[in-house]
């Protein structure tokens, strides 16, 4: 009796189907991406560094406790009101600024704040200090940082519109697309220097 040979199975089509399924799952699968804030960490100061004396009124204290409750200058505040409170502090213009990048010191002629003597002297002296607890939820911390960054964005956009008839966001995007344009560079640096983003993270509480 002749030996019967088993026919070979053509697996080529199966491989094609598996490849198509792989592509399908790669395209349709969603991935969770952690939220975050863009921030440049400060460098470690030299051993002989003497920190400058800062007036208490130039520090805007923001703290988040372990229950994710927000306290601004010691008072409870809803996170929705943080942006406006930060704008009022940064833009107060109650005194004189410091010399920075060849910008002369003096009163802030572009500030629209109340010019209160009990609040910040100048945007380039206004420091926002954020302190959280080690049990503070990451999402709450990010939400607070986001509101503070929005405050700077509002002020920078307003000044840029007044001076250059274009928002700072658009101005910065235009400069990113054309880094060789010195005029754009000068304008971006002027706005950033006028409203420097000074947010300090204090040591978390236990």
| Mean pLDDT score, 131-156 | 94
| pLDDT of residue 37 exceeding 70 | no
Please indicate, yes or no, if residue 143 is contained in any of the structural domains. Answer: yes
| pLDDT of residue 197 exceeding 60 | yes
78-97 per-position pLDDT tens digit: 999 999 999 999 999 998 88
Please indicate, yes or no, if residue 6 is contained in any of the structural domains. Answer: no
Please indicate, yes or no, if residue 28 is contained in any of the structural domains. Answer: no
List the domain range (segments joined by +) for residue 95. Answer: 56-156+197-201
The total domain count for the chain is 1
Please indicate, yes or no, if residue 46 is contained in any of the structural domains. Answer: no
- What is the pTM assigned to this prediction? 0.76
164-193 per-position pLDDT tens digit: 999 999 999 999 998 889 999 999 999 999
| pLDDT of residue 63 exceeding 50 | yes
Please indicate, yes or no, if residue 40 is contained in any of the structural domains. Answer: no
| pLDDT of residue 40 exceeding 50 | yes
Please indicate, yes or no, if residue 47 is contained in any of the structural domains. Answer: no
Identify the residue whose tokens are 């804030």: 37
More confident residue, 29 or 170: 170
């Amino acid at each position: 009796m002749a030996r019967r040979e088993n026919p070979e199975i053509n697996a080529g089509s199966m491989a094609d189907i598996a490849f198509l399924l792989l592509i399908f799952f790669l395209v349709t699968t969603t991935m969770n991406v952690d939220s975050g804030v863009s921030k440049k960490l400060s460098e470690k100061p030299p051993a002989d560094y003497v920190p400058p004396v800062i007036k208490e009124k130039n520090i805007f204290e923001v703290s988040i406790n372990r229950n994710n409750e927000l306290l601004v200058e010691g008072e409870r505040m809803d996170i929705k009101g943080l942006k406006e409170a930060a704008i009022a502090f940064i833009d107060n213009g109650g005194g004189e600024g410091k010399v920075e990048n060849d910008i002369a010191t003096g009163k802030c002629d572009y500030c629209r704040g109340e010019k209160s003597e009990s609040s910040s002297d100048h945007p380039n002296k206004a420091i926002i200090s954020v302190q959280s607890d080690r049990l503070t939820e990451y999402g709450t911390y990010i939400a607070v940082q986001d509101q503070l960054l929005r405050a700077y964005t509002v002020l920078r956009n307003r000044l840029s519109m007044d001076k250059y008839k274009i928002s700072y966001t658009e101005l910065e995007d235009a400069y990113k697309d054309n880094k060789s344009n010195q005029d754009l560079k000068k304008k971006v640096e002027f706005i950033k220097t006028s409203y420097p983003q000074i947010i300090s993270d204090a040591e978390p509480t236990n």
